[in-house]
């Protein structure tokens, strides 16, 4: 068992077979997370570099825990405390670290395509942990794993992505992955926060939230990415909350057994109320737990190692 590529760069180019392999494999790793000793020897002898040029809580910690629970050696790089501050380029930085003998690189970078550049520079397996507004494939995979856990299959599920779909790499990875797996996808944003030529993604496009939510099974709520946008994309936060904020009243339009998702970090009181975020239909913390299992599966499948699932002391 393995994947058809030695890197995970995005879900746009990932086949249904590879997505299914990752999601099926993650089931075994999810079970390991429930054990008293959450550690297996699968990646013993391999060294993984977590190369983060952008802030992260969930993805960085989740990858680090996934690597440690697979018994890999782990090196963490943060650009703000490195020689990047003295002007060292991405290429020189990664070639320097690879010269210390590393096997896999997990990279987050503000520039779309940075992980693709690394595949041409390094021998290591490259995993994209978020590149600008382009893709965040492990977030898309963990979202699909969480939905498959609840509904059994993604086929025919109606998923609406609400919020800043223009600047969201989570939106892009969800769109590609869900469509590949047979879900029906819609996006809903103010017109200024829709991607250019949004229809070309093969999704239903809405600027009216109530219409978008009608008959949906899943709402995946996205943060307004103030760090990636110019000012003036909407008149005021108050107006955004009124027109696009998800509150309990709006959920009446959804199908029974609906699901609330958010990739985090959340701005409570802006794109989502606390009542919705903490409701029974919210799977936000399950997404976080499942993220570790999915990342363990990706690391394992790209490593080419044999599955070892006996816990180690
Ligand atoms: N969902 C997500 O990517 O969160 P972080 O930015 O905290 O990693």
Per-residue pLDDT of the chain (313 residues; tens, 9 = 90+): 689 999 999 999 999 999 999 999 999 999 999 999 999 999 999 999 999 999 999 999 999 999 999 999 999 999 998 999 999 999 999 999 999 999 999 999 999 999 999 999 999 999 999 999 999 999 999 999 999 999 999 999 999 999 999 999 999 999 999 999 999 999 999 999 999 999 899 999 999 999 999 999 999 999 987 666 666 777 788 999 999 999 999 999 999 999 999 999 999 999 999 999 999 999 999 999 999 999 999 999 999 877 777 777 6
Whole-number Å distance, alpha carbon 201 to ligand 1 midpoint, is: 23
In order of their start, the domains of the chain are 16-136+288-303 (3.40.50.1370), 138-284 (3.40.50.1370)
CA proximity to 239, closest of 198, 209, 219, 276: 209
Token code pair at residue 221:
């709520």
Residue 60 CA: nearest ligand 1 atom is 8
The answer to whether the CB of 173 is under 6 A from ligand 1 is no
Instruction: Please give the pLDDT value at position 226.
Output: 67
Please enumerate in sequence order all residues whose Cβ is within 8 A of that of 34, keeping only pairs 6 or more positions apart, or say none. Answer: none
Determine if ligand 1 sits within 6 Å of the CB of residue 41: no
108 within 8 A of 130, measured Cβ to Cβ: yes
| pLDDT value at residue 132 | 96
Element of type H or E holding 1: none
In sequence order, what are the beta bridge partners of 126?
105
Taking the whole predicted model, whether its pTM rises above 0.85 is answered as: yes
Q: What local confidence, expressed as pLDDT, does residue 195 receive?
A: 94
CA-closest residue to ligand 1 atom 6: 56
């Amino acid at each position: 068992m393995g994947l058809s590529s030695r890197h995970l760069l995005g879900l746009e180019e990932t086949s249904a077979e590879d997505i299914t392999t990752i999601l099926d494999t993650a089931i075994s790793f999810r079970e390991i997370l429930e054990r008293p000793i959450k550690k297996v020897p699968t990646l013993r002898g391999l060294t993984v570099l977590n190369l983060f040029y952008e802030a992260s809580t969930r993805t960085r910690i989740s990858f680090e825990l996934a690597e440690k629970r697979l018994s890999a050696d782990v090196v963490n790089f943060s650009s703000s405390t490195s020689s990047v501050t003295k002007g060292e380029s991405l290429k020189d930085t990664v070639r320097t670290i690879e010269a210390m003998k590393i096997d896999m690189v997990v990279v987050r970078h503000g520039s779309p395509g940075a992980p693709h550049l690394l595949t041409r520079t390094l021998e290591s397996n490259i995993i994209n942990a978020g590149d600008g507004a382009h893709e965040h494939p492990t977030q898309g995979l963990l979202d699909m794993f969480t939905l498959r856990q609840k509904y059994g299959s993604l086929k025919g599920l109606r998923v609406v992505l609400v919020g800043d779909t223009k600047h969201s790499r989570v939106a892009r990875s969800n769109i590609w992955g869900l469509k590949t797996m047979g879900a029906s996808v819609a996006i809903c944003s103010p017109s200024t926060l829709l991607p250019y030529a949004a229809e070309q993604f093969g999704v239903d496009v809405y600027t009216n939230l109530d219409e978008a939510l009608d008959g949906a099974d899943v709402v995946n709520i996205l943060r307004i990415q103030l760090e990636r946008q110019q000012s003036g994309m909407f008149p005021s936060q108050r107006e955004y909350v009124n027109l696009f904020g998800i509150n309990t009243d709006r959920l009446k339009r959804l199908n029974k057994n609906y699901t609330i998702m958010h990739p985090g970090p959340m701005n409570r009181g802006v794109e989502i109320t606390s009542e919705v975020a903490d409701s029974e239909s919210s799977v936000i913390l399950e997404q976080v737990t499942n993220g570790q299992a999915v990342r363990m599966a990706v690391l394992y499948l790209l490593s080419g190692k044999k599955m070892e699932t006996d816990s180690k002391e």
